[in-house]
Amino acid sequence: MNDTKKTYVEDIDRSLYDVADEARYRYTTDRGIDEEIIRKISKEKDEPKWMLDLRLESLRIYNKKAMPLWGPDLSELDINSIIHYVRPDTDMSNSWDDVPGYIKDTFERLGIPQAERESLAGVGAQYDSEVVYHNLKEDMIKQGVVYLDMESGVKQYEDMVKKYFMTLITPHTHKFAALHGAVWSGGSFVYVPKNVKVDVPLQSYFRLNAKNAGQFEHTLIIVDEGAELHFIEGCSAPKYNVQNLHAGSVELFIKKNGKLRYSTIENWSRNMFNLNTKRALVEENGTIEWVSGSFGSKISMLYPMSILNGKRAKAEFTGITFASTGQILDTGAKVLMAAPETSCIINSKSISKSGGSAIYRGFLKVTEKAKGAKAAVNCESLMLDNDSVSDTLPTIILENDDIDIGHEAKIGRISDESIFYLMSRGINEEEAKSMIVRGFVEPVTKELPLEYAVELNNLIDIELEGTIG
């Protein structure tokens, strides 16, 4: 390949997502984090004592833990400049008509109400630190499905929430999990009763509008025995010239014979540090399916983890990452196989351009108990020019030999031969390159619901010009 030739790929058009709304807030904490701020957050939410105690203990752990040094450099992140709680000037509503116009306009631009009307069983919309809209269709309520904002879940289902909350992701997990435990706000609580199959997805959308702020939503989902659910998560934020931080947590519990698909499109702006943590605990014959698209952000560190704790539990991960100028997207998946005949499939794809860095960081551990386990890991990276970076950093730990494990990694560029072949069939150069990139990400888009597949395609809607790269 001629190093003097480059393939030019236009950056993602973020005009829809970068519109910042007028700041209208009922309450915000001071910058930084200390015990007084934690107590103010808890008082503002009128929480039970056990939750305040958990927050304070998380703060103590946070102050003791060091910043992670094994991944991207986080030294630029100044926690003391971040506002950890921003309450919008509205109360939560289950009627879209009651949401303030300036907030409603934001979600209208992002297509949330339309998606709800056409293809969703329930929707939650979070704006900065609080959920401002939440609704679940009546037929779901009649079947016993619970879908609430997290604060309502704490109050209305206190015993259940207390049993599960921050037990998969504890404050000891890492420094930002401890930070999350101290300042969490918003998110979703979902419970699907035994043998109930929610055949239309639920969706939560998280929008961070405030400057120099953090968003720390907590999602807790319990899929009981024989139940099924598809949950969709969307995230975005406008671009500012100051730091923003996202450190949410997702805890998923899939009981015997249960099934959960968790789909995410994270489209943060490039001043965002996205340090999100997600984990699922899967029991006998249960299934967790992760579908993940990671775009935007200055730095991302995101590795959804599946703990296969029951016989024949299954995990699938399908992910796409797109890194451009000034971005380090360090993403991947973790799987702990801790029971017999468990299985997992990991398919990770990344695209990097204009000096962007896309890193796959994976972890697979097969314990001594996991006799007959099967796992397949496949990582593919496509670099669109000579300035970009792509790395594959897998860790595989095998503690028994009655297993079937495979790992494959591919890194490459758009080939001259592929472009030439398509052009010889009457397709122009730009369209040929676009077809190759779309074909590369197609395994991910086909796993998403229609409206999110469209969004993902829009996010990688590229224009290529110039010579063949």
**CA separation for the pair 261, 264 (Å, rounded):** 10
- The model's pLDDT over 114-159, given as tens digits with 9 standing for 90+, comes to 654 454 555 556 555 555 555 666 777 888 999 888 988 999 999 9
- DSSP labels, 100-146: -HHHHHHHHHTTHHHHHHHH-SEEEEEETTEEEEEEE-HHHHHTT-E
Q: What are the boundaries of each domain within the chain?
A: 15-415, 416-469
Question: Between 95 and 160, whose confidence is greater?
Answer: 160
Q: If DSSP states are collapsed to H, E and C, what string results for 241-281?
A: CCCEEECCEEEEEECCCCEEEEEEEEEECCCEEECCEEEEE
Of 233-242, 275-284, 420-429, least confident by mean pLDDT is: 233-242
In this model, does residue 11 exceed pLDDT 50? no
pLDDT band at 6 (very low <50, low <70, confident <90, very high): very low
What pTM, to 2 d.p., does this model score?
Answer: 0.84
How many CB atoms within 10 Å of residue 292? Answer: 25
Cβ 338 vs Cβ 369: under 8 Å = yes
- For 188-202, what is the mean pLDDT? 91
In this model, does residue 338 exceed pLDDT 60? yes
pLDDT band at 165 (very low <50, low <70, confident <90, very high): very high
- For 174-178, what is the mean pLDDT? 96
In this model, does residue 379 exceed pLDDT 80? yes
- The model's pLDDT over 248-283, given as tens digits with 9 standing for 90+, comes to 999 999 999 999 999 887 777 777 899 999 999 999
At residue 71, the 3 state secondary structure works out as: coil
- For 178-202, what is the mean pLDDT? 92
Of 268-277, 333-342, 364-373, least confident by mean pLDDT is: 268-277
Q: Name which of 315, 305, 306, 314 is nearest 276 in CA terms.
A: 305
**CA separation for the pair 329, 331 (Å, rounded):** 6
- Burial string for 89-119 (b: 16+ CB within 10 Å, else e) reads ebebbeebeebbebbbebbeebbbbebbeee
